[in-house]
Amino acid sequence: MKKIQYIFILLCGCLLSLSCSDDLIAKLPLDQNNVESFWTSETNVSSAITGCYQQLIEPYKSPWTWKLEDITPNAYEIDGRDSSREISLGLNSPTNQVPKQRYKICYRGIGRANTVLNNIDLVPMDESLKNRYKAEARFLRAFFYHNLIEFFGGVPLILDAPDNNTQGQLPRNTKAEVLDVIYTDLDAAIAGLPISYAAADKGRITKGTALAFKARTALYNMDWTEALSAAQAVVDLNVYALFPDYRRLFLVENERNDEVIFDIGFTMPEVSNNYHEMYIEGNVLKDLPDSYLMTDGKPAEISSLYNPLNPYANRDPRLNQTLITLGSMYNGNLVTGNELFMDLTGFSFKKYTYLLDDAGGVAPLPGQSEINPIVIRYAEVLLTIAEAENELNGPTVRAYDAINQVRNRPSVNMPDVTPGLSQEDFRDALRLERRIEFAGEGLYFNDIIRWRTAETVMNADGLDSEGQLIETRRFNPQRDYLWPIPQADILLNTNLEQNPGY
C-alpha cells in the first residue's frame, strides 16, 4: 500500500531502545531471539530498520509541526498542554517538556541507527540490500543529529550502539563537529540510496530525500555553496515537480504526489495522528494573514486592491488555501465567526484537513487521521536555490527563476518578484515567500532562528482578527536562540554543560 507498515517486534524494540536493560534481555525465554542470535537474519535486519523509521512517527504524531508554529508569530498554543507556550512567552526552561521530548526522541533514534550500523555486517544477506539499509540508517542518524544541533547547539556525538558505561558521561561536542558527521552520513546515504522504489517500499528514504535534506542542513548553517549544489542535484534528478493545486497538495488523496520528497507514513488503524484537527485549534494570529501580499504582488499598505472593510480579499491565493478566515467558504459553509474553531482568534489553519471549501464533508474522529505530514517538498528545494544563489551572487536570473516557479504554481499564479531588486530587498522577498509557502508546516521557527530575526518578530504582541491582545511574546537574544539541555540529562551526566542563560 502507500505507506510503510510499521511492524516492529517487541524484541527489536528492546534491542534498539536506549532504555532497554541487560537484565531484561538475559531473562528472555530460550526459544526466543537474544542479542547474539538476532543479527543473523535478513528478516530481523528489516525489522531493525523499521524500528529506526518508527522514531520518526513519535514527534509527528504529537504533532511536532503544531508546536513549532505555536512558537512563531504565526500561531499560539491555546492550552499549554505541551509547554510550547512557555517558549513563546520567553519562559523556556530545562524542565520544559518540548525540549525534553525532542532531545530524548532524537537520541533514541540515533541509538537505533547506531545499533543497525554496528551489527548489520554480522548478518549474511544480499549485499546490495545490506548497503541500502546502511544508507537508510545513516540518513536517519543524520536526520536526528540535524534536529539536535539546530535546537540545542553542540551535543554529545555518539556513533556506537547504546552503552551507558561508555556514553553516559560524555561531554558535548561542538556543533561543527556534529555537523561534519551529518554531512558524512548524508553523503553516504546519497551514494547508497535509490532514486525510487517499487510500490511496496514507497515512503522509504530516497537519494532525493538525502540530497534535499543535505540542502536544508547546509542552508540552515549558511553553507550557501553546499546548499545550492545539493538543491540543484535534486532538480537534476528530474523526479520532482510542483503539484499544480496548492490547496489539494495537502489532502490525503494526493499523498506522495510528485512534489513530496519525504513524508511520514501513517495508516489507519495501525498508526494514526490528529493533523486533520488543525482547523479546530483556531489559534492563528493576525500577523500571519496580514503578511500575505495582494494579488498585484504589493503589500496591503501600498496596494490599490486593499479594502479595509474586507481586508483579506484580493490576497495571494495561498491565504485562502492555507487559512480559514471570516467571510471565506469552508466545508460548504460561509465562515461567520460563530464556529467553535473561529472563536479564539478569528483565523484557523486549513492545511491537512479532510474538509474542502465549497463542498460539505465529515472529518475523521479525533486522533484518527492517516494523512502523511510532509517533511520536505520540492518547493523548499526551489526556494533553497533562490536563497543560496542570492547570498552567493545576488539576485541573479537563477534566483528569480527559482522563486518565481513557486509563485507561478497554477493555483497560486502570483506575479513574478519585482525585477532589479538589491540583494537585501530580494532577501526580504525570499523570506516572506518562505513564510507564506510553508505556513502551517513548522519551518518558520527554524527560519527566524537562523535569520536571527526572532528577537524582533517574537518580541511583539499576538493579536486576534480584531486587533485584541491574545498574548505578549518575549524572546531573549542572549538565551533563546538555543533551547536548554533537559535538566534530567544534566543531572545524570555531570559533564554536560548547560546552554547560556538557563
DSSP secondary structure code for residue 417 in this structure: P
Residues 263/372, Cβ–Cβ less than 8 Å: yes
Nearest alpha carbon to residue 234 among 374, 136, 377: 377
Q: How far apart are the first and last CA of the chain?
A: 47
- Report the pLDDT value the prediction gives residue 63, as an integer from 0 to 100: 79
pLDDT in tens, 136-168: 999 999 999 999 999 999 999 999 999 999 999
**Rounded Cα gap, residues 100 and 115, in angstroms:** 23
pLDDT in tens, 381-439: 999 999 999 999 999 999 999 999 999 999 999 999 999 999 999 999 999 999 999 99
Mean pLDDT of 117-124: 96
**Rounded Cα gap, residues 42 and 397, in angstroms:** 50
Residues 329/358, Cβ–Cβ less than 8 Å: yes
Q: Contacts for 173-181 with beta carbons within 8 Å, 24 or more apart? A: 175/149, 178/145, 178/148, 178/149, 178/154, 179/149, 179/217, 179/221, 181/142, 181/145, 181/157
DSSP secondary structure code for residue 456 in this structure: H
pLDDT in tens, 92-114: 999 999 999 999 999 999 999 99
pTM of structure = 0.92
Q: Angle at the Cα of 190 (from 184 to 193), degrees rounded to 5?
A: 130
Read off the C-alpha cell for 237.
534528478
**Rounded Cα gap, residues 474 and 171, in angstroms:** 31
The length of the chain, given as a count of residues: 502
- Find the range with the poorest average confidence among 44-53, 87-96, 360-369: 360-369
**Rounded Cα gap, residues 342 and 330, in angstroms:** 12
Percent above pLDDT 70 for the chain: 92
What's the chain's Rg over C-alpha atoms? 23
pLDDT in tens, 205-261: 999 999 999 999 999 999 999 999 999 999 999 999 999 999 999 999 999 999 999
- Report the pLDDT value the prediction gives residue 208, as an integer from 0 to 100: 98
Asked whether the bond before 63 is cis by omega within 30 degrees of 0, the reply is yes
DSSP secondary structure code for residue 276 in this structure: G
pLDDT in tens, 455-472: 999 999 999 999 999 999
- Report the pLDDT value the prediction gives residue 239, as an integer from 0 to 100: 97
Mean pLDDT of 13-28: 35
Query: Does the structural domain 10-47+93-269+482-492 have CATH classification 1.25.40.390?
Result: yes
Cα atoms in the 13 Å half-sphere on the side-chain side of 169: 3
Read off the C-alpha cell for 136.
537508510
Binning pLDDT at 50, 70 and 90, where does residue 17 land? very low
Q: Is the pLDDT of residue 321 over 90?
A: yes
- Report the pLDDT value the prediction gives residue 81, as an integer from 0 to 100: 66
- Find the range with the poorest average confidence among 45-59, 111-125, 267-281: 267-281
- Report the pLDDT value the prediction gives residue 58, as an integer from 0 to 100: 86
Read off the C-alpha cell for 63.
504533532
Binning pLDDT at 50, 70 and 90, where does residue 16 land? very low
Binning pLDDT at 50, 70 and 90, where does residue 18 land? very low
- Find the range with the poorest average confidence among 20-34, 45-59, 325-339, 485-499: 20-34
pLDDT in tens, 334-371: 999 888 888 899 999 999 999 999 999 998 998 899 99
- Report the pLDDT value the prediction gives residue 1, as an integer from 0 to 100: 37
- Report the pLDDT value the prediction gives residue 33, as an integer from 0 to 100: 54
The domain limits of the chain are 10-47+93-269+482-492, 275-349
Q: What's the mean pLDDT when you consider all of the chain?
A: 92
- Count of helices and strands (H, E) across the chain: 21, 8
Q: How far is CA 247 from CA 40, 222, 294, 320, 326, in A?
A: 48, 31, 18, 9, 18
Read off the C-alpha cell for 141.
542518524
Residues 455/463, Cβ–Cβ less than 8 Å: no
